Structure 1
Amino acid sequence: MNQTLLSVEETSKVLKLLGDQTRLTIVGLIKDTECCVCELVEILDMSQPSISQHLRKLRDAGIVKEKRKGHWMFYALNEDHAAFDLISRILEHMPDQKEKIIALEQSGKRIVCE
C-alpha cells in the first residue's frame, strides 16, 4: 500500500468525496474488480447520469481510473493515488460489497456491456 502522508487539505477532500453514501458504495464495489457504468446503474438502482456524475467526481480527484472497452467505460480503484492507503483503511470498516457483484452475476447482468 502507498504510505504517502497526505496534507490536511488532501485528506479532507478525500473524506468529503467518500462522505457521500453512493460514492462510498461505488468505491467499495470497485475495490477488487472493475465495473461498467451500466453495472453500477443496475446494482445501485440509480439513473446512468447520476452514476456518471458520481464517477466523474471520483475520477477528477484521481480516486478511480477509467478504461474504455469498446463502447463501454469501466472503472476501478486507482491504486496509485496518494490516498489509496487511507481509502483502503476506510473500506475495512464497512461491509464488503462483493455480494452485490455476485448477485449481479447470478442475475445474468454482470456482462451486459460486452
Structure 2
Amino acid sequence: MLKTVVEMDKAAVVLKLLGDKTRLTMMKLLDNNDCCVCEFVEIFDMSQPSVSQHLRKLRDVGLVREQRKGQWIFYSVNKDNDYYGFIEQIIKQLPDQDYKLKELEEKGTRITCC
C-alpha cells in the first residue's frame, strides 16, 4: 500500500476541520453510512443551514462526497481522497456513533430510499 505524504498546510486545514466535534462525529457516522442533511438536523438538533455549512466545509476539502437519490442528497466519506489515509486512523479510534442512526430508525425519522 502506497502511503501519501500530506503537506503540512493541508494537514493543518484538515485537522482544524476535524477539531469541531460536530464535523468529527459526522465523519465517524459517514465512514460506514450514507446520511442525508435532514438526518443530521435530527441527530445534532441544529438547523438545516448549520448542518449544510458543516458538510460544505468537509466537501470543499474533499473529505465527503454527495450523491443525489431521488429528492435527497446523501453524503458519505470520500475514501478516494488523498486525506482519507491521513484521517482514517483518527476515525477508527473514535467510539461508534451508529446508535444515533438506530435511534432515528426507531423514531421513524431515518431516511431510506433506493
State how far apart, in whole Å, the 1-side matches of 2:10 and 2:16 are.
Answer: 10
Matched-pair contact (CA < 8 Å) for 1:41–1:47: yes
Q: What is the percent sequence identity of the aligned residues?
A: 53
The alignment partner of 2:26 has SS state of helix
The alignment partner of 2:32 has SS state of coil
1:56 aligns with 2:85: no
User: Structure 1 stretches (4+) deviating beyond 6 angstroms?
Assistant: none
The runs of 5 or more residues in structure 2 that have no matched partner are none
Report the Cα offset of residue 96 of structure 1: 1.1
2:27 counterpart residue number: 27
User: TM-score normalized by structure 1?
Assistant: 0.92
1:12 counterpart residue number: 12
Change in 2 beyond 3 A, CA 1:12/1:113: same
State how far apart, in whole Å, the 2-side matches of 1:61 and 1:46 are.
Answer: 23
Report the Cα offset of residue 111 of structure 1: 2.0
Report the Cα offset of residue 105 of structure 1: 1.2
Report the Cα offset of residue 93 of structure 1: 2.1
Aligned length: 114
Please give the residue correspondences for 1:1-114 in structure 2 after superposition, counting only pairs within 5 Å.
3-111=3-111
Report the Cα offset of residue 113 of structure 1: 7.0
Matched-pair contact (CA < 8 Å) for 2:64–2:76: yes
Matched-pair contact (CA < 8 Å) for 1:36–1:74: yes
Matched-pair contact (CA < 8 Å) for 2:66–2:74: yes
State how far apart, in whole Å, the 1-side matches of 2:96 and 2:85 are.
Answer: 17
Matched-pair contact (CA < 8 Å) for 1:65–1:78: yes
Report the Cα offset of residue 112 of structure 1: 6.4
> Considering only aligned residues, what root-mean-square deviation do their CA atoms show, in Å?
1.7
User: Deviation string for 1:34-75 (max 9, x for gaps)?
Assistant: 000001111111110000000000001100000111221110
